Chains A and B, each alone.
Chain A
Amino acid sequence: MPPGSDADTAAVEFDRASFAVHRGPTIVRELDFDVASGETVVLVGRSGAGKTTALKLVNGLLAPTAGAVRVDGVETTAWDPVELRRGIGWVIQEVGLFPHMTVRRNVGLVPELLGWDEERIAERVDDLLDRVGMPAGRFGARLPHQLSGGQRQRVGVARALGADPSLLLLDEPFGALDALTRDRLQREFGELMEELGKAALFVTHDLREALALGDRVGVLVDGELAVIAEADVLLESDHPEARALAATLQPPGELGGG
């Protein structure tokens, strides 16, 4: 996947986009970067760095208070919000699945919203659940609370892919999982993204995860993008924030820039 390739329109384009709470603090300041089609960009930062806000600027849950965010070349504020969101897969931590809906229904929800006929939805759901290793025959009828955390997250990914969006937003999707499950899901997710070739904007507080999954990794510090670069370049860079982050990697050097 060519990171930062010169496609005519990037999947997502942050154009000096800021978001400030009304009469309150600025959460993200002048974000300025692109996600090319097919590229995975990971933003890494501590909690409160503005990661989730950056994602919500993309699917129009928040509107930038300065600058602009463009999806497929069109400003998010010019999109019909419902249409914009149905074209973007969104994966959130833990809580994202609807507790009163079966796995099947959760995964088929966006196609259902789009008015697909039942047969097509059923086919799509079967296919997606297979893809994330949760065969519908075994898991389709279960409710989210009858699944383990890792299984829920797989379903979450399947749901985000529901209507075959060209862009995925992922908000710490593996944050609440135990280390072993997280490693496995990260690996599988990396392979899945490779295979699907979708654009993705992924946020996490875990630098190791960011380096493993991102074509490019951006470091968010207090709402500002301190640095954004390809994973190996980032580790080699002498940018102070990158150095500080790299120093937190343990054991040191394991993923260290090859």
Chain B
Amino acid sequence: MRELARFLVENRVEVGGLLGEHLYLSGVSVGVAAAIGVPLGIAATRSRALERPIIGTANVFQTIPSLALFGFLIPIPLIGGVGARTAIVALVVYSLLPIVRNTHAGIRGIDPALVEAGRGMGMTDLQLLLKVQLPLAASVILAGIRVAAVVSVGIATIAAAIGAGGLGVYIFRGIAVVNDTLILAGALPAALLALAADGLLGWMGRRLTAPGAPGAERGEVKPA
């Protein structure tokens, strides 16, 4: 442990740089995945014809072993190659499933009577989405984004294998030279980063969730 601490302190500039790369890889990936995944999840609730292919495809992507996916992507033109871009594409693919699935489940889980109430009082589809469905599903959707963030911080360690940098660099180097300290120097900050992302998004979720929506803390006030 003392060795690890000394290593991290001595190499703090490099550690900082790798941490930054790691944060960039997973942050951009989750952002892109949310920008694609939430609309896809909404689309899946709108039409039976889209529901199966969307959820199914997201499921299939999730089953591809991550190291293999990075490998598959390298030869593909435009999105492939060696470096951060390829890694981000792979991480987006992994982050999609929890986001798509939670968006879909969050909206589907709303009491149908509420949706009908909205429709019955003359809301358009868009108004229903913005005023009722998204606010009520927000906590579930954010939980999906939170899972995606934790997963993608973890998987981003593998991105080092295709030259995308990040804390995985220490892990792969440590494995190659059989040096536990080096492996830990990558793994420990990555784990802390995952915990921090989890905590931050959890806090944001509580802040953003509409009071009274499912998942919101109930400030019970006695009815007069």
Contacts and interface: CB of A to CB of B under 8 A. Distances in A.
Contact of B120 (A83, A90, A142): A90
Contacts of A95: 111, 113-114, 117
B119 A92 contact: no
A170 B212 CA distance: 25
A146 to B, nearest CB: 4
B223 A147 contact: yes
Q: Give the interface size class of chain B.
A: 20 to 34
A101 B135 CA distance: 10
Contacts of A113: 121-123, 127
A5 B1 CA distance: 91
Given A92-B117, A100-B211, A85 B221 contact: no
A61 interface: yes
Interface string B89-105: 00000000000000000
17 contacts: A56-B120, A61-B116, A82-B122, A82-B123, A84-B122, A86-B121, A92-B113, A95-B111, A96-B113, A98-B131, A99-B214, A100-B210, A100-B212, A100-B213, A144-B212, A146-B221, A147-B223
Given A82-B123, A99-B214, 9 more contacts: A61-B120, A86-B121, A87-B122, A92-B113, A98-B136, A101-B212, A113-B123, A113-B127, A142-B221
A148 B212 CA distance: 15
The secondary structure that dominates the B interface is loop
Given A143-B211, A148-B223, A99 B136 contact: yes
A53 interface: no
B119 A61 contact: yes
Contacts of A109: 121, 131
Given A95-B111, A100-B212, A146 B117 contact: no
Contacts of A61: 116, 119-120
A101 to B, nearest CB: 8
A145 interface: yes
Which among A59, A86, A96, A142 has the highest number of chain B CB atoms within 10 Å?
A96
6 tightest A-B CB contacts, nearest first: A86-B122, A100-B210, A85-B122, A148-B223, A143-B212, A100-B213
A192 to B, nearest CB: 19
Contacts of A86: 121-122
A100 B135 contact: yes
Nearest to B123: A113
A59 B123 CA distance: 12
B218 to A, nearest CB: 7
B223 A85 contact: no
B49 interface: no
Contact of A146 (B113, B121, B123, B223): B223
B220 interface: yes
Contacts of B127: 113
Contacts of A147: 223
A59 B121 CA distance: 9
A151 interface: yes
B179 interface: no
Contacts of A138: 224
B213 A85 contact: no
A85 B127 CA distance: 14
A129 interface: no
Nearest to B113: A95
B11 interface: no
B162 interface: no
Interface string A30-55: 00000000000000000000000000
A99 B122 CA distance: 18
Interface string A192-209: 000000000000000000
Nearest to B138: A100
Nearest to A97: B117
